[in-house]
């Protein structure tokens, strides 16, 4: 058994906008492909050019696409009827970016696609992201770190813009 310890960097942007407005702005910037058709197209692709074409047709202006979403608030609200929790986990990414990291650090595929957590709290709506560069730091791989840093810039820019911080 091998164990790698991670010191993760978590960034959080806090917005005074409504939860619904934040989700609307995020959704507008992130691609929403039919995930079944997307996977079929990736499987059918024979070259990296074909894969890149499929991905480029699936991503939004942020160069990211949504793979899944988990509405944790819906689950929490089943138990608590006094406060309506708004808590959503978005799984987003770009398979080409993941490939560029995973070809030199295979463990990068464990962290990509990434999670964006959107939660309504007393002080506003939080947009939370664990930076890829911090997750890959223990691997000390310059190539993967460069790609991770570029991804972090994309995600932070997206969240900052959505939150308008």
Separation of first and last alpha carbons in the chain:
43
Q: Say what the pLDDT of residue 75 is.
A: 85
Among candidate residues 82, 27, 83, 34, the one with its CA nearest the CA of residue 54: 34
Q: Tokens 């972090």 belong to which residue?
A: 152
Could you give the domains of the chain? Answer: 10-31+62-163 (3.30.310.70)
Cα–Cα dist 90/125, whole Å: 15
Q: What percent of the chain has pLDDT over 90?
A: 87
Q: What percent of the chain has pLDDT over 70?
A: 98
Q: Say what the pLDDT of residue 90 is.
A: 98
In this model, does residue 29 exceed pLDDT 80? Answer: yes
Backbone angles phi, psi at 16, to 5 degrees: -90, -5
Q: Say what the pLDDT of residue 85 is.
A: 84
In this model, does residue 144 exceed pLDDT 70? Answer: yes
* Confidence (pTM): 0.92
Rounded to an integer, the average pLDDT of 44-61 is 98
Angle between helices 142-163 and 19-29 (to 10 degrees): 130
Cα–Cα dist 128/37, whole Å: 29
In this model, does residue 89 exceed pLDDT 90? Answer: yes
Cα–Cα dist 162/165, whole Å: 8
Q: Say what the pLDDT of residue 165 is.
A: 60
Q: Tokens 């959505």 belong to which residue?
A: 162
């Amino acid at each position: 058994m091998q164990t790698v310890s991670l010191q993760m960097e978590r960034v959080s942007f806090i917005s005074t906008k409504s939860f619904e407005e934040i989700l609307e702005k995020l959704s507008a910037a992130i691609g929403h492909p039919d995930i079944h058709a997307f996977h079929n197209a990736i499987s059918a692709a024979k070259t990296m050019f074909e894969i890149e074409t499929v991905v480029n047709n699936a991503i939004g202006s942020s160069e990211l696409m949504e793979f899944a979403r988990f509405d944790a608030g819906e689950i929490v609200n089943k138990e608590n009827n006094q406060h309506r929790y708004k808590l959503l986990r978005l799984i987003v990414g770009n398979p080409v970016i993941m490939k560029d990291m995973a070809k030199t650090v295979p463990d990068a595929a464990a962290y990509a696609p990434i999670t964006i957590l959107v939660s309504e709290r007393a002080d506003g709506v939080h947009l939370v992201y664990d930076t890829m560069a911090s997750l890959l730091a223990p691997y000390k791989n310059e190539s993967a770190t460069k790609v991770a840093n570029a991804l972090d810039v994309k995600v932070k820019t997206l969240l900052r813009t959505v939150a308008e911080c």
